[in-house]
Structure 1
Amino acid sequence: MLEASIDQLEQVAERPWQDVSAAVKDGYGVQAKGQSAAEMVSRITDDVLPYHGGNIHPRFWGWVQGTGLASDLIAGMAGAVINANTGGRDHGANYMERAVIDWTGAKMGMPEGTSGVLVTGTSQATVIAFQAARVRVMPEVRKTGQGSALLTAYAGEGIHNATRKALELLGIGWDNLRLVPLIDGQMDLAALRAQIAQDRAAGALPFLLVGMAGSVDLGAYDDLNGLADVAADEDLWLHVDGAFGAWTRIAEAPWRGLSDGIGRADSLALDFHKWMYIGYDCGLVLIADEAAHRAAFAARPSYLEAAERGLAGGDPWFCDYGIDLSRGNRALKVWTALEMYGEAALGAAITDNCRLAALMAQEVESRANMRLAAPVVSNVCVFTARADLSQEAQSILNSEIVQTLQERGEVVFSTTRAQGVVMLRAAITNHRSRDQDIRAAVAAVAALAALG
């Protein structure tokens, strides 16, 4: 199995996404009759490794998915044999998680003592952050419920669906999220202040402001310092969705400046499994006020009482800072990657992804009929293959090109809608991508567009 895993990593460029055949799907049917380890390894090699989601391939830029690292294999072996439950108690994994949180908080510019907890991803991190924000303005909400209170939250148009889901799950309601218009890809601060004043006048309780550090469609960034000023003036909790874009904090100029002000947030959600290339799953929520974080979740029944010594000792117990009591050892793969590759190499890879997105934009602009949806800000490039066609015809052609290239195993774009057109979207969070991959991908799009 180890040899097969190493082969998979070494030959990743030769193993693109492929459709799962009916025979393979049928072969996944659980028989539970027992097999030898050798037989199982053979089945995995034949029927599991070839049918991945494609994100490990150097020409995968669909959605925002991380690529995984060789260090994940090392950490995965150690993690499997330890089998740590990191909900609490006194063992090495919890101290390692605290170290990862401290390092990340410092890189983001958040204050010393910032709290945090590793989670499945930004969607879960957002729920945790919003609950802390709600408990701040309604200290008894865990006991009494929200009742008739009308809480309102604010975010720019185009905010990630994680914000909507979190408000729904917490019972605040999607209708109480005010979507503020954008100016040049950033939240209109004057419109934001006006909306807050209007809600207060109507008897609502504004409590939460959500900023974007890397928008879903275009990779744009809010003016985070401007949002922090509004939050301070209006006594709002500032949360930043930095799922992938927060990591420009370790990139080079000019891209590092995109996330200036992120350290002023009350909470920040980000993923290691996106733009830090760590294997799935691994997200993190950071909360500047440890007491506010703990107040939102701590609930220790008698069977989980801490002790002065022994296994029931140790601090922190991460079950006091989030939803899960049973938790896997996510910190190990982050720690292994940071120590094995170093911040400089990871930052250089992030910088290069932004450079490749700019290169893709140049390649697009060099083609007569291709057009960008908007200037490339960070690592996301969105474009249409044939701007000379009607909106409907462009949408049909762009969708067909994306699907054809995926099925051929040449390149994976995703799609998004911009200016009324379904366009090709490349979100480059792939440390294996090179200049030649960008040029070949655009050339492949141009060839299919000419046929269309």
Structure 2
Amino acid sequence: MSNLDPENWDEYRQQAHALLDACIDRLASAREHPWQPLPEAVRASYALDGVARGEGALAQELAESVLPHGTGNTHPRFWGWVHGTGLASGVMAEMVAATMNANLGGRAHGAVEIERAVIDWTRQVMGFPEGSSGVFVTGTSQATVIALASARVAVMPEVRARGQGAVPLTAYAGAGAHNAARKAMELLGMGHDALRLIPEGPQGMDLHALAERIEADRDAGRQPFAVVGTAGSVDLGRFDDLNALADLAQAQGLWLHIDGAFGAWTRLAGAPWRALSDGIGRADSLACDFHKWMFVPYDCGLVLIRDEATHRAAFAARPAYLAAQSAGLGGGEPWFCDYGVDLSRGNRALKAWSAIRAHGADGLGAAITRCCMLAKAMGDGVSARAPMALMAPVVSNLCVFTADAGLSEAEQSALNTRIAQALQLAGVAVFSTTSVNGVTCLRAAITNHRTTAADIEAALQAVADER
């Protein structure tokens, strides 16, 4: 009876080297590989019958049938949604992570120290105090659950044992806040009706309206407990005034959580974009993604919590079989499983660590700054191409526009939707869409370190040609 290792390691080495070459070739030629629809024959070939074919056949299938059919987000004209674009360093990191096969739920080993190092580096970048805690997660959606669970423990220390109790809790966020806040409220049993959506203006949340809503909830016997600020809204790229929001949260005794999924990384950008996230270090918790504007391969999110004791109190639960040891592999306190929902955790932090090691804060920050400059150039290009028109100011790296402002709302929506689909299917560029004042608009979120000024010009010309 054999184990599941390759029968011939030399053959495996050759097959793996060939597959690695295919992966490197794919990244090196990313410009030649836009998104394309998945052929039905390839889709059918993915079905499993449970029959063994060996590593050699697997390597060939991975190279020929799997590798070519991703989202296309490595392409320099992929600007849909807020998709990160990947780094060559990530290929090396993922290879090492898979070989190590480490569980980062806890224990004493090198991978957990890598995670601690990245958390501490991020803490310093964001301006959180020494002693703050953090944990790597799938992304900002999971990070938001962890942050709001910690916020709830801060006002209801017995909630894990006794449940939420009779007094309903309420939280507050801008009308354009990411859906992650709503999901977190639902998953934590507070319900999305308890998330009060506050009107927004050019500077983000209307703080006067926020204060009035907090007062009204208190008068009605509810308990406000948290406010969710946004550093880079997913639809238009807006930033709340984080210093003003921190002042209000402090005065009201509320936990301040910041959704900084991509916008938090303006802390590494140059002027004037760095100032957009001023005040972010005053938050009680912060969610951010390395897999968006730090270009790290998916998935790689992080939550930071200012009060480590509260963070731990929200999640720590160590049965006898996970008891801490004073020495050996069972040591390594604190364990990351005490700061989130997962005991089995992959080695996400290694990808982030590798990106920082390879490019440094200056290199990554320069790429982020360049994305903002290109978004501004796209906005300028739109404004110079009437009847195209911007539908919102270009704040950082998002450009939202319509292909023909002279049409009715319904006609603009139909035209913009058709153009987005046509350019995607042709492999020219990927815009996504969003709605502004009843119009479905074209939307570019530039988190792509491969994008050039020539790509911006070519894509805008393609929009004009499709009009």
- The answer on 1:381 being equivalent to 2:399 is yes
The amino acid that maps onto 1:406 is: Q
- The answer on 1:34 being equivalent to 2:41 is no
The amino acid that maps onto 1:427 is: A
Partner of 2:265: 247
Alpha-carbon separation, structure 1, partners of 2:295 and 2:191: 33
**What pairs with 1:269-308 in structure 2 (closer than 5 Å)?**
269-308=287-326
Partner of 2:85: 67
**What pairs with 1:166-205 in structure 2 (closer than 5 Å)?**
166-205=184-223
Q: Deviations over 1:235-270 (max 9, x none)?
A: 000000000000000000000000000000000000
Q: Deviations over 1:289-344 (max 9, x none)?
A: 00010000000000000111100001220000000000001111111110111111
- The answer on 1:261 being equivalent to 2:276 is no
TM-score normalised to the size of structure 1? 0.99
- The answer on 1:25 being equivalent to 2:40 is no
Partner of 1:409: 427
Alpha-carbon separation, structure 1, partners of 2:224 and 2:210: 11
TM-score normalised to the size of structure 2? 0.95
Instruction: Note if contact 1:387-1:394 (Cα within 8 Å) is conserved in structure 2.
Output: yes
Partner of 1:436: 454
Partner of 1:109: 127
Alpha-carbon separation, structure 1, partners of 2:22 and 2:417: 35
The amino acid that maps onto 2:29 is: Q
- The answer on 1:119 being equivalent to 2:137 is yes
Partner of 2:62: 44
Q: 1:400 aligns with which of 418, 433, 440?
A: 418
Alpha-carbon separation, structure 2, partners of 1:300 and 1:36: 40
Alpha-carbon separation, structure 1, partners of 2:207 and 2:49: 59
Q: Deviations over 1:33-73 (max 9, x none)?
A: 11132221111111111111011110000000100100011
Partner of 1:221: 239
Alpha-carbon separation, structure 2, partners of 1:26 and 1:302: 47
Alpha-carbon separation, structure 1, partners of 2:206 and 2:57: 60
Give the superposition deviation at 1:183: 2.1
Give the superposition deviation at 1:185: 4.1
**What pairs with 1:285-364 in structure 2 (closer than 5 Å)?**
285-364=303-382
Q: 1:210 aligns with which of 207, 228, 231?
A: 228
The runs of 5 or more residues in structure 1 that have no matched partner are none
Give the superposition deviation at 1:184: 1.4
Give the superposition deviation at 1:147: 2.7
Partner of 2:10: none
The runs of 5 or more residues in structure 2 that have no matched partner are 1-18
Alpha-carbon separation, structure 2, partners of 1:426 and 1:11: 22
Q: Deviations over 1:393-415 (max 9, x none)?
A: 11001000000000000100000
Alpha-carbon separation, structure 1, partners of 2:78 and 2:203: 25
Q: Deviations over 1:210-232 (max 9, x none)?
A: 10000111101000000100111
Q: Deviations over 1:379-400 (max 9, x none)?
A: 0000000111111011001000
Between 32-41 and 165-174, report the one with greater CA deviation. Answer: 32-41
SS in 1 for 2:256: strand
Give the superposition deviation at 1:189: 1.0
Alpha-carbon separation, structure 2, partners of 1:71 and 1:141: 43
The list of structure 1 runs, each at least 4 consecutive aligned residues, that deviate by more than 4 angstroms after superposition, is none
Give the superposition deviation at 1:31: 1.9
The amino acid that maps onto 2:77 is: R
- The answer on 1:4 being equivalent to 2:30 is no
The amino acid that maps onto 2:285 is: S
**Count of residue pairs brought into register by the alignment:** 449
Instruction: Note if contact 2:167-2:221 (Cα within 8 Å) is conserved in structure 1.
Output: no
Instruction: Note if contact 2:176-2:200 (Cα within 8 Å) is conserved in structure 1.
Output: no
Alpha-carbon separation, structure 1, partners of 2:343 and 2:49: 31
The amino acid that maps onto 1:114 is: S
Computed over aligned residues only, the root mean square deviation of the Cα atoms, in angstroms, reads 0.7
Instruction: Note if contact 1:225-1:261 (Cα within 8 Å) is conserved in structure 2.
Output: yes
Between 219-228 and 141-150, report the one with greater CA deviation. Answer: 141-150
The amino acid that maps onto 1:193 is: A
Alpha-carbon separation, structure 1, partners of 2:64 and 2:332: 44
Alpha-carbon separation, structure 2, partners of 1:388 and 1:286: 46
- The answer on 1:55 being equivalent to 2:89 is no
Instruction: Note if contact 1:108-1:249 (Cα within 8 Å) is conserved in structure 2.
Output: yes
Instruction: Note if contact 2:90-2:355 (Cα within 8 Å) is conserved in structure 1.
Output: yes
SS in 1 for 2:214: helix
The amino acid that maps onto 2:361 is: E
Q: Deviations over 1:125-177 (max 9, x none)?
A: 00000000000100100001113221010111111000000000001111111
The amino acid that maps onto 2:356 is: L
Alpha-carbon separation, structure 1, partners of 2:303 and 2:294: 15
Q: 1:94 aligns with which of 85, 104, 112?
A: 112
Q: Deviations over 1:73-102 (max 9, x none)?
A: 111111111000000000001111111000
The amino acid that maps onto 1:77 is: M
The amino acid that maps onto 1:103 is: W
Instruction: Note if contact 1:102-1:113 (Cα within 8 Å) is conserved in structure 2.
Output: no
Alpha-carbon separation, structure 1, partners of 2:137 and 2:145: 11
